[in-house]
């Protein structure tokens, strides 16, 4: 390597080391590093949106890769849902290149859905996961932080989510889809938005603002404003986290009986990729039956999300009825009741 290239490499390395001398940035980095070291072993990638959260995540990931000498990939998704999304993606790529961060832009090709935010989120993950499989990456980092944790809890509460739905975002490491070979990792889930904004200002000093973050037509924006009012009334993250941990402990107990019900009262037929449920499957408490059935529908249907709760409850009601033959479809599955047995198979 030429002396000029060695000098440039040392200069950029020193840039990151110098920034980590800031106590506030250093504290966040140590939390970030601990979460990564506990949950990853191979190469990983970072989902870069260009917003303050993901730019802060990008800085921290670059620091980690330099310290641990690990390969990290940075993916920007051009969702094409706004007129200037392509220009924004190119701008983020250009800006980060100045800090020796090479990004790859992935572009949406699917038609947009009526639920724009859900469409963007699901397809963003899909693009990143598809590229990760090619690169043999098993972990994708997202910039979700503790403010997101609060917002998602209240969004799900307003939608009538059950215990599992309310606490699901609390996990640092999880899968988006049951059969995914790639995990998502949220190493900043206990870091505040204010800390991430501080990191951006003190390091790369740029970000892209998404106008939808100020648009009251989106539920997330309404929830964000509601949380600010609750904070004025005494809500703190410490109190919220305590309640969330209590709910998580309760969920762990329920999970035990859900797994037991699936193990004892269902059989998976690998050749046909279908599941046979015994009569006793439905003789458990309602919450156990509901969650066991939801898990199996997602597994057999290979869906990103669980089926809607009201539809599952209605179907379970039919299956518990005295009728000896029932045939229904839900969440990519065909569900047939034949006398005392129920068969779940992929819809054709």
pLDDT of 286-337, one tens digit each? Answer: 999 999 999 999 889 887 677 888 899 999 999 999 998 999 999 999 999 9
**Is residue 42 domain-shared with residue 163, that is, in the same domain?**
yes
**Is residue 176 domain-shared with residue 28, that is, in the same domain?**
yes
**Is residue 202 domain-shared with residue 59, that is, in the same domain?**
yes
**Is residue 206 domain-shared with residue 304, that is, in the same domain?**
no
Residue predicted with more confidence, 30 or 181: 30
Name the residue with tokens 């039919």.
318
Counting the structural domains of the chain, the total is: 2
Residue predicted with more confidence, 159 or 186: 186
175: CB partners within 8 A, 6+ apart: 182, 183, 184
3-state secondary structure of 258: helix
Residue 307: which domain range? 264-346
Which pLDDT band holds residue 90 (cuts at 50, 70, 90)?
very high
321 within domain boundaries: yes
pLDDT higher than threshold 60 for residue 114:
no
Count CA within 13 A, CB hemisphere, residue 55.
27
Where does the chain show beta strands of DSSP type E?
A: 44-48, 72-78, 103-107, 139-141, 173-174, 183-185, 266-269, 274-277, 325-330, 333-338, 341-346
Taking each helix axis as running N to C, give the angle between helix 237-265 and helix 286-301, from 0 to 180 degrees, rounded to the nearest 10: 80
Mean pLDDT check: name the lowest of 18-32, 109-123, 236-250, 331-345.
109-123
What pLDDT is attached to residue 171?
Answer: 84
Where does 186-332 show beta strands of DSSP type E?
A: 266-269, 274-277, 325-330
β 325-330/266-269 pair status: unpaired
247 within domain boundaries: no
286 within domain boundaries: yes
Residue 30: exposure state from Cβ atoms within 10 A (0-12, 13-18, ≥19): exposed
Per residue in 246-280, pLDDT (tens digit) is: 999 999 999 999 999 999 999 999 888 899 999 89
Sheet containing strand 266-269, edge to edge, reads 266-269, 274-277, 341-346, 333-338, 325-330
Per-chain mean pLDDT for the chain: 87
**Is residue 234 domain-shared with residue 288, that is, in the same domain?**
no
**Taking Cα atoms as reference points, which of 192, 191, 187, 190 lies closest to residue 40?**
187
**Is residue 192 domain-shared with residue 269, that is, in the same domain?**
no
Look up the pTM and report it: 0.80
**Is residue 273 domain-shared with residue 237, that is, in the same domain?**
no
pLDDT higher than threshold 90 for residue 343:
yes
82 within domain boundaries: yes
Which pLDDT band holds residue 285 (cuts at 50, 70, 90)?
very high
Of all residues in the chain, the percent with pLDDT exceeding 90 is 55
What pLDDT is attached to residue 270?
Answer: 84
**Is residue 161 domain-shared with residue 117, that is, in the same domain?**
yes
147: CB partners within 8 A, 6+ apart: 192, 193, 224, 227
**Taking Cα atoms as reference points, which of 188, 89, 86, 177 lies closest to residue 133?**
177
**Taking Cα atoms as reference points, which of 346, 323, 321 lies closest to residue 333?**
346
What pLDDT is attached to residue 197?
Answer: 96
What pLDDT is attached to residue 149?
Answer: 92
**Is residue 29 domain-shared with residue 124, that is, in the same domain?**
yes
Residue predicted with more confidence, 190 or 9: 190
How many angstroms separate the CA atoms of 28 and 12, rounded?
Answer: 20
**Is residue 88 domain-shared with residue 174, that is, in the same domain?**
yes
**Is residue 70 domain-shared with residue 15, that is, in the same domain?**
yes
**Is residue 143 domain-shared with residue 282, that is, in the same domain?**
no
């Amino acid at each position: 390597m030429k002396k000029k290239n060695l000098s440039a490499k040392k200069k950029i390395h020193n840039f990151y080391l110098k920034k980590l001398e800031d106590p506030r940035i250093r504290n966040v980095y140590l939390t970030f590093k601990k979460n990564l070291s506990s949950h990853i072993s191979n190469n990983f990638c970072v989902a870069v949106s260009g917003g303050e959260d993901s730019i802060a995540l990008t800085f921290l990931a670059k620091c980690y890769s330099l310290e641990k000498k690990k390969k990290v990939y940075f993916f920007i998704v051009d969702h094409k849902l706004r007129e200037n999304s392509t220009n924004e993606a190119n701008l983020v790529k250009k800006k980060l290149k100045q800090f020796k961060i090479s990004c790859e832009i992935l572009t949406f090709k699917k038609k947009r859905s009526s639920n724009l935010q859900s469409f963007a989120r699901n397809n963003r993950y899909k693009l990143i996961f598809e590229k990760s499989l090619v690169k043999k990456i098993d972990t994708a980092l997202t910039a979700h932080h503790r403010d997101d944790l609060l917002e998602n809890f209240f969004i799900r509460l307003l939608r009538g989510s059950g215990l599992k739905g309310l606490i699901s975002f609390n996990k640092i490491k999880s899968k988006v889809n049951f059969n995914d070979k790639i995990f998502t990792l949220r190493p900043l889930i206990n870091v505040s938005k204010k800390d991430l904004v501080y990191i951006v200002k003190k390091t790369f000093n740029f970000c892209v603002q998404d106008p939808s973050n100020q648009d009251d037509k989106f539920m997330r924006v309404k929830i964000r404003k509601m949380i600010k009012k609750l904070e004025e009334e005494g809500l703190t993250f410490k109190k919220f986290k305590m309640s969330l941990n209590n709910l998580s402990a309760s969920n762990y107990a329920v999970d035990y009986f859900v797994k037991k019900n699936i193990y004892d009262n269902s059989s998976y037929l690998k050749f046909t990729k279908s599941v046979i449920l015994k009569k006793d499957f439905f003789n458990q408490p309602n919450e156990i039956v509901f969650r066991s059935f939801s898990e199996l529908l997602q597994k057999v249907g290979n869906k990103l999300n669980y089926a809607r709760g009201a539809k599952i409850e209605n179907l379970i009601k039919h299956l518990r009825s005295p009728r000896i033959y029932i045939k229904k479809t839900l969440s990519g599955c065909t569900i047939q009741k034949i006398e005392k047995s129920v068969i779940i198979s992929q819809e054709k």
